Amino acid sequence: MIVCDTHALVFDALSPDLLGSAAARAIEESHGTGDLACADITLWEIAMLIEKGRLEVDASIEDFLTTVIAARRLIVLPVTPAIAALSTTNSVPEGDPADRLIAATAISHGATLITKDERLIGLPDLPTIW
C-alpha cells in the first residue's frame, strides 16, 4: 500500500509536474492496483487550505475532495486507536499533529509514504518515496 502525504495528493490533483518522478510512478502503479491511500486527516488539511485561500480549486471543497478520491480510487484510512497511540510516540517526529497522524497511519498499515517532508524521510519505521 502507498499512502500519500497531503502535498503529494494536492500535487497529483493540480500540478503533477511538481511530483518527484519516483512519486509519480508509485502513484500510477498503486492507482492501477487499487493500493493508493491517504489518511483521513489529509482531507481535512486540504479542506483547510482551500478555505484559507491557500489552494484554489474550481469546485466546492466537498466536490473537490470527492473528485480526488474517485479519480484515484483512494482508500481513505481512518484514525484508529492504534494510530492515535502511535502518533504520540517517538516513532514520529514532534510537530504538526496532522503530519504525526499521517506518518502513524502509514507505519500502522506497513505502507510506504509519498512525501518530500524531510522530517518524515528517514524515519526508521517509515519507508518513503519522492
Q: What structural domains and CATH numbers belong to the chain?
A: 2-129 (3.40.50.1010)
Q: What is the pLDDT of residue 31?
A: 87
CA-CA-CA-CA dihedral for 85, 87, 8, 36, to nearest 10: -20
Nearest CA-CA partner of 49 in 95, 97, 8, 10? 10
Q: What is the pLDDT of residue 41?
A: 98
Residue 94 — very low, low, confident or very high, per pLDDT cuts 50/70/90?
A: confident
Q: What is the pLDDT of residue 112?
A: 98
Spatial distance between the Cα atoms of 50 and 57, rounded to a whole number of angstroms? 7
**For residues 6-32, average pLDDT:** 96
Spatial distance between the Cα atoms of 92 and 45, rounded to a whole number of angstroms? 18
Q: Is a pLDDT exceeding 90 seen at residue 95?
A: no
Compute CA distances 13 → 27, 73, 82, 96, 108, whole Å: 11, 13, 30, 23, 25
